[in-house]
Structure 1
Amino acid sequence: MAEKKPPLSKEELQELREELMLADSLTRIENTLMILSGKGGVGKSTVAVNLAAALAASDRQVGLLDIDIHGPSIPTLLKLEGASVQGQSQRGMSPIQYNNNLKVMSVEFVLKDQAHEAVIWRGPMKHRLIKQFIAEVDWGNLDFLIVDAPPGTGDEPLSICQMAPPRSRAIIVTTPQKLALQDVKKSIRFCRAVEMPIFGIVENMSGFVCSNCGTEHELFKSGGGERLARETGFKFLGRIPLDPRLVTASDEGKPFVLEYPTSAAAKAFDRMIEPILALSPPRMKKH
């Protein structure tokens, strides 16, 4: 006679419940895109926000998840400072509905006064919160979940890569300078180590386009990201030029691609999302 197994403890039951919720949530997300960078200051969060806004404007259901625990930028870039998660649905916390097609979640929405206080957490606490952001947030059915990770290869990127579904890919953001490109190579090695496919490389702050005359000036060089893509064999998704209005739009919490759709930078985002949209064509949508 087989030995009877002891009943699961409360902790084991809770862990099993979380795993089932995580698995169920992941089945509702068609594609996950991790926005990574080797170093800070390359405009990664700005790229994440405008990528999400552009995909949502293309009639896709999009979630934008900010997993930067210590310095979340998404609430400021979308003018959602002070917002908080309101109530619970049957599936869990309700994300902030930015517009009809875009939902947003950040640590700033769940931790009181986080915008003004330092979050001093070790890896396991970060991992648990990130897991909750996927398993216990009512994202609904998404064509794309855009994940804005902090720079580098620390706890947060590692956690999200470990629990991400099979249809997950990384987009690596760099600037043209040699130092940024060196750090990008670390991100590439990180993705290979955790078996995260790299969808492509974006070169941000690539030249400056005068909004008055349309002339392009290479303030910080250009082409480094494209050369790196050729060397590594990854797809080059495009060059996003500097535009002074981008700073203003970001400070005002307005996605640049929606405010200045005819600008050179917005058109660069349009070209950038073309291969991404092909991952979830409208005829395959389940909503």
Structure 2
Amino acid sequence: MNRCRQFPTLAFIVVVLAVPLRGTFAADPLPSWNEGTTKSAIIKFVDDVTRQGSPTYVRPEQRIATFDNDGTLWSEQPLYFQLAFALDRVQALAPEHPNWRSEEPFASILRGDLKGVAASGKPGLMQIIAATHAGLTIDEFDQVVRDWVKTARHPKTGRPYTEMVYQPMLELLDYLRANGFKTYIVSGGGIEFMRPWTEQVYGIPPEQVVGSSLKMKFEMRDGKPTLVKLSDVDLIDDKEGKPVGIHSHIGRRPIFAGGNSDGDLQMLQYTTIPRDTTDTVPRFGLIVHHTDGEREFAYDRPSTIGQLDKAL
């Protein structure tokens, strides 16, 4: 059975690396997109659900669009960007943890073995996050992320990580919002890692970011209320965890979802497959398939990062 048939509307697109240049819409709402079935399908879908009097009209409050981040809105190669952030944290904290030299995935980090680190995937990333972020207050962690984003550079392009975003996807976000959609990030990456910069980069405010998270506790420190990050995992917002995160944080089922890997399959299923015969709301599922190895990165089934197999 062709797994792609599970999605009523499934689009495959190739995106190229570009800096996030925004502007007002011209006659073409998606100027960086190639002319073809994918672009036409998106425009038709938006028209169908927003045109007053259309039999498929969807009320604005139901126009929820969710997007994965890594590999969908910005690059995720040669390793997850939050993993690059976490590697720097491990190096900085290593003198306080001599046992890390013999424990994975920390040993691979300290040896500079990026393949070994990448092989640990999102679970390994969450382990690293738990070990390096616990004990920080939300404000402290927010500042650590902001400081890192200002100085860190992508190892291949030399650009700030926040410039490693996809211009076609920025246009899609703007186009959906201009037509009454509320756009959310639903990512396997850490929610507190993304929230400090998503509004500036994507126009998505922190309250519309859903991601993996550690448990927290409330404390009064020096007479001031604060939240402290703990080491226990609260939610891994990947694969089966994405629909859970959507329901817990958003409370509405999306009608548009975009992803790029098997980690997004369940979000696409949750968004696009009707629950029963009364569920007649139009729905759209989008897959970003990376095939341009010259201008960006080409990868799918064999990749340990952003593997695209079951959802392809």
Structures share a fold, TM > 0.5? no
TM-score, normalised on structure 2?
0.30
The two structures have a TM-score, normalised by structure 1, of 0.32
